[in-house]
Amino acid sequence: MKITGAELIARSLIANGITHAFNVPGLGIHPLLGALKSHSDKINYFSAPNETGVSLMADGYGRATGKPAFVNVYHASGTALGLMGVTTAWGDRSPMIFTSTTSSRKLERRDQYASVPRDITEMTRQYCKWSWEVPLVERIPEAIARAVVMATTPPMGPVHLGFPMDLYTEEIELDAAEAALLARPERLRVYNAGGADPAGIAAAAELLARAKRPLIIAGGEVAQYRAIETLVQIAESLGAAVLGEPYVAYLGFPYDHPQFAGRFAPRNPLSQQADVILVVGTEFSDPGGAVPPLPPDSAKVICLATEALDIGKQIWADVGLIGHPKTSLAMLRDSLAALGKPAERTDWRSETARVRSENQAVIETEKRRGWDDSPVHLPRLIHETRKVFPDAVIMDHSTTGAAYLLQMCDYPDPYGYFGISARASAQGWGVPAAMGMQIGLPNKRVVAFVGDGGFMFTSAALQAAAQWKLPLVVIVIGNGGWHDVAYGARKNRGWSEDDVKSYGWVLDPVIDYAGLAKSLGLRSLRVDTPAQLPGALIEARDDRSPILLEVRCDPEAVAYYLSYLAR
């Protein structure tokens, strides 16, 4: 039986459990698209107006599902445009199979149509776990199978494959045995959930058992590897205080748990008083470039990471553990149980409760300040949205709203929130990533909060949301531009309003975001006052089509955001 390279790619994707493909079409990709279409019962295909959009959609899909999508872009410029999705997937460790269609092997090094000087994979290599331009049709199954293993092995991340376009039409003979092999998803079964070294687990358990004031800093990898329940069991058995990752892509702990006391900050009294700190899958990246925060000299630190590169990168550990978070935390839980019932730590539990209560009082005060003001006060927008969409998945790329969303909302289900970390920082991430999340979570409703400045980077992606009829709700926080940047310039440098306008940080004229969304095929509503807000949110909830809400918000809300970052 003869088979084309394009058909071999489609069959290899199916055999390796890949169910979603994202692509921007080009003339040389037609054979690949035809092969994907012939398997539309097993592979869901999505396109978008540009390669940046499809790569970010795939990043969002990987975050929401924990599974890699197949992304294909066209030639050198397409690869360059898709790099944003690759960098964010690297930054927040999202699994992704990113591929480029390149010129025919017959034209290699002749600098013809959309060529590259050397190797297409050089463009992405520092951000990918593995990069390879596939040389032969026969090696396509090997390339895809290995790519899936690489992308999904902790720490997860993107891989990059190059496919010369003549591979798509070249035919090879496929015998019955090889065809049967391609039809077996279990043909490359990899066990990659190994736990940390038992000696290290025992040492960590001893430190935690003896601690008087244990503190857990729960990072996003706890959520990524489905280890939240186990970490909750450890925290409850120890009476430990729990703080979240400071610049968060995933929530590592339920926010409504009585032992959770907010996000980590060096000045937090629990950070200052802890004598043993368990750091699990956490990044301490600081957008201001500050030195990573260090614990008190008196505190012992246990660091659980998925790779050796993370040990000592930001925090020096007394006990460094390398292993799959879910497996390793289960080992730690069992090791603690074997040591017997821990001390009650009544004083430490009381201190945790006090800090949590004080935080909530500050939050309640801030929430009510300017409640009835126009334009809409950000805390009121968030409060009203959570009231109307209590079960929605919140996708946050709001910048100035992030501190409110993370401080003022309880998330009983940590998988109900997705953000972007400082390490993965990328303007324009929000809308396409939210679309990918909605594709990956078809039985959920995704509500995306995006800032108006960042929205403009990838606003054209909304056309794909309309095309694919995704039930996505996009809330654009309309404060007139990049107010976090402008506010900092005015406050710290004494620049005038005319100064910041001259740099384009305050948009003049103000963009009609609702009108733009309508032109791209979406329903849209504009909210100027608090009185309009509940009705607009209910209308969005009851309409299952993609919809954009432009909400005019107080630009000075950025002051709260920046003050939070300074803690």
Compute, in degrees rounded to 10, the torsion defined by CA atoms 196, 198, 202, 207: -20
233, burial (CB in 10 Å: exposed 0-12, middle 13-18, buried 19+): middle
Residues 413 and 559 in one domain: yes
Report yes or no: 545 and 471 within 8 Å, Cβ to Cβ: yes
- For residue 364, is it within any domain? no
Residues 513 and 464 in one domain: yes
pTM for the structure as a whole: 0.94
In total, how many domains does the chain have? 3
At residue 167's C-alpha, the angle toward residues 161 and 168, to 5°, is 100
- For residue 530, is it within any domain? yes
The range of the structural domain enclosing residue 327 comes to 198-355
Q: How far apart are alpha carbons 46 and 515 in whole angstroms?
A: 25
206 in helix, strand or coil? Answer: helix
Structural domain ending residue among the three candidates 157, 188, 219: 188
Structural domain ending residue among the three candidates 136, 167, 188: 188
Find the mean pLDDT for residues 479-497: 75
Residues 321 and 387 in one domain: no
Residues 165 and 206 in one domain: no
Task: Tell me the angle at which helices 75-92 and 51-65 cross, rounded to the nearest 10 degrees.
Answer: 30
Q: How far apart are alpha carbons 153 and 307 in whole angstroms?
A: 11
Band (pLDDT 50/70/90 cuts) for residue 287 is: low
Residues 142 and 272 in one domain: no
More confident residue, 298 or 157: 157
- Output the six-digit token pair for 436: 């990918």
User: Is the Cα torsion angle 177, 178, 179, 180 positive or negative in sign?
Assistant: positive
| Domain CATH code at residue 18 | 3.40.50.970
Residues 251 and 305 in one domain: yes
Pairing state between β 2-4 and 171-173? antiparallel
In three-state form (DSSP H/G/I as H, E/B as E, the rest C), the secondary structure along 259-308 is CEEEECCCCCHHHHHCCEEEEECCCCCCCCCCCCCCCCCCCEEEEEECCH
- For residue 360, is it within any domain? no
Residues 450 and 558 in one domain: yes
Q: How far apart are alpha carbons 532 and 60 in whole angstroms?
A: 31
Residues 387 and 530 in one domain: yes
Residues 167 and 299 in one domain: no
Listed range (17-26, 77-86, 444-453, 487-496) with the worst mean pLDDT: 487-496
Rounded to the nearest angstrom, the gap between the alpha carbon of residue 368 and the centroid of all alpha carbons in its chain is: 30
Q: How far apart are alpha carbons 539 and 541 in whole angstroms?
A: 5
- For residue 361, is it within any domain? no
- Output the six-digit token pair for 50: 């540009």
pLDDT tens-digit series, residues 186-219? 667 788 899 999 999 999 999 999 999 999 999 9
Structural domain ending residue among the three candidates 355, 383, 406: 355
pLDDT of residue 565: 46
Band (pLDDT 50/70/90 cuts) for residue 66 is: very high
Residues 507 and 557 in one domain: yes
Q: How far apart are alpha carbons 293 and 269 in whole angstroms?
A: 14
Residues 184 and 206 in one domain: no
pLDDT tens-digit series, residues 384-431? 999 999 999 999 999 878 888 888 788 889 999 999 998 898 999 999
pLDDT tens-digit series, residues 372-390? 888 998 889 999 999 999 9
Residues 384 and 432 in one domain: yes
| Domain CATH code at residue 237 | 3.40.50.1220
